[in-house]
Structure 1
């Protein structure tokens, strides 16, 4: 006699229905704990120099000279930060850096968005060749053209109200121009790729409504590129802010140097307090950290939105 499948696993209940077996837990995947541990170790290794600089800046030099930097502190204070700010003249140098970085970032993004729109959205003859030219410019080492630029800036005149040196050399305009030139290629490359991911139907609908080229760029395309522009603005400000090579070459007046050069004022001729120098380095790095924190949402969106088509 064939057993009833409904009563073969009878559990004693009146209905005689089978009790479903307990579901097995899925096996734990390998690497569940390994990946977080690896990422945590990489993060600690990346942040270790910064954390050591902050720790050293809070301790007196006499204490670290006696017990070492990896010893337990007797006391912590913010005296070095006050001393580093006043002795290095950081406020003046920070103003010089803003006078270079802010105009350079704005002009670079404005011009790069024009070129990227023409290359990616308009049928421009030789557009791909133009994009390759801008991209190839990023591969050129800046040290190769230092001497030609130095000779060229000495020959370009400026009115007295723009530069007291009467030439492009030894003026903040030299730093602005050279940063715009070197950052333009990267911005054009990123923006053109980002604009290609935007739906073509939006511009086609705008053309049907009678929108011209300027309206297509300014009112439609540029607002959609806001995340990419914010991401590029963060990167460009950080790169220009941390640059020291161009200022070292094109600026001879110490009063016009950027903030990165203020750390040299904390180095003595015969003795250097490295705890004081660490405090100055932390103060110099704070503006870039604040810029990233303020634009973090747009920065992450700019890195992810251009990953897909449409």
Structure 2
């Protein structure tokens, strides 16, 4: 079996694993720990270069209340929800229908169409910046929440279709054939047979896409200019003063902005793990 379970490896390997894993986890968590401490520091600590030590002045309520009272962070978070939720719904809806067509039906260009969906994921999104911006200007979608959501739906549908097609294709084909024999229409098969069986996959994909879109910074700054439609990832940079660096407020805003994806993950953790492990074993 590969990879070999750690308990079956040699003692030096087990010792290296037990020592190396906590160290790797600590290194990975260091930036997050630094941001968390900075979010509760006073301005004096940052001015004196106290970035890693304990705060000399704890300003938990002051900093986090200032983020909402003195900055438009709440408006940025609302914009992120207005972009992320329609994107998740739109991308999953298109992906489930496309995945059903590619996974259930057998037609000559099935693989060609599937590879078109997959191939889009290999295009570096940076080279699309100029044409996408020009297209958004021509369509009147530039600097708008609707425009950003529509482009996110277009970009995410390829990956979602790849994900859903593989899950739907692994379903027992006899279930679809039996439903057809019973007189069910293709729409009924899609809604009453296929979708209930791939619900864990849909849940897992929704968590992934929600996280991807919520954390997007590139397209948020390329397609949005004004604060009226700016998501929270792009809006965090405005929490810094023009003349004075307010890193304690930026850090507090970053912690607040990171909470929705974390809460979504823990709320759907059971479905997320079930979706990722679906089909991994055969009973």
Instruction: Using structure 2 for the length normalisation, give the TM-score.
Output: 0.90
Check if 1:43 corresponds to 2:25. yes
Q: Structure 2 residue aligned with 1:214, among 155, 175, 187?
A: 187
CA shift, 1:262, in A, is: 2.3
Q: State how far apart, in whole Å, the 2-side matches of 1:277 and 1:192 are.
A: 41
Please name the residue that 1:68 is paired with: 50
C-alpha contact 2:37 2:54 (8 A) present in aligned 1: no
Larger % of helix: which?
A: 2
Please name the residue that 1:277 is paired with: 250
Q: State how far apart, in whole Å, the 2-side matches of 1:290 and 1:155 are.
A: 38
Q: State how far apart, in whole Å, the 2-side matches of 1:195 and 1:54 are.
A: 42
SS in 2 for 1:231: helix
Q: State how far apart, in whole Å, the 1-side matches of 2:186 and 2:267 are.
A: 33
C-alpha offsets along residues 203-254 of structure 1, whole Å, 9 cap, x if unaligned? 2222222222111111111111111111111111111111122232222332
Check if 1:263 corresponds to 2:236. yes
Please name the residue that 2:3 is paired with: none
Please name the residue that 1:250 is paired with: 223
Q: Structure 1 residue aligned with 2:72, among 89, 92, 116?
A: 89
Q: State how far apart, in whole Å, the 1-side matches of 2:99 and 2:37 are.
A: 45
Please name the residue that 1:7 is paired with: none
The gaps in structure 2 that reach 5 residues or longer are 1-7
Q: Structure 2 residue aligned with 1:77, among 59, 78, 97?
A: 59
Q: State how far apart, in whole Å, the 2-side matches of 1:262 and 1:250 are.
A: 13
CA shift, 1:273, in A, is: 2.3
C-alpha offsets along residues 44-96 of structure 1, whole Å, 9 cap, x if unaligned? 22222111211121221213433622323334231211112222211111111
Q: Larger radius of gyration, structure 1 or 2? A: 1
C-alpha contact 2:42 2:55 (8 A) present in aligned 1: no
Please name the residue that 1:154 is paired with: 137
Q: Structure 2 residue aligned with 1:101, among 78, 84, 87?
A: 84
The gaps in structure 1 that reach 5 residues or longer are 1-26, 157-166
C-alpha contact 2:220 2:233 (8 A) present in aligned 1: no
Please name the residue that 2:207 is paired with: 234
Q: State how far apart, in whole Å, the 2-side matches of 1:74 and 1:151 are.
A: 50
Check if 1:113 corresponds to 2:96. yes
Which runs of at least 4 in structure 1 moved beyond 6 Å after TM superposition?
none
Instruction: Using structure 1 for the length normalisation, give the TM-score.
Output: 0.82
SS in 1 for 2:122: coil
Matched residue count = 274
SS in 2 for 1:256: coil
Q: Structure 1 residue aligned with 2:165, among 169, 184, 192?
A: 192
Q: State how far apart, in whole Å, the 2-side matches of 1:202 and 1:73 are.
A: 62
Q: State how far apart, in whole Å, the 2-side matches of 1:183 and 1:257 are.
A: 20
Check if 1:126 corresponds to 2:99. no
SS in 1 for 2:41: coil
SS in 1 for 2:70: helix
C-alpha contact 1:87 1:265 (8 A) present in aligned 2: no
Change (3 A) 1:152 1:64: closer
The CA RMSD measured in Å over matched residues stands at 2.0
SS in 2 for 1:255: coil
Check if 1:179 corresponds to 2:152. yes
C-alpha contact 2:36 2:252 (8 A) present in aligned 1: yes
Q: State how far apart, in whole Å, the 1-side matches of 2:160 and 2:279 are.
A: 14
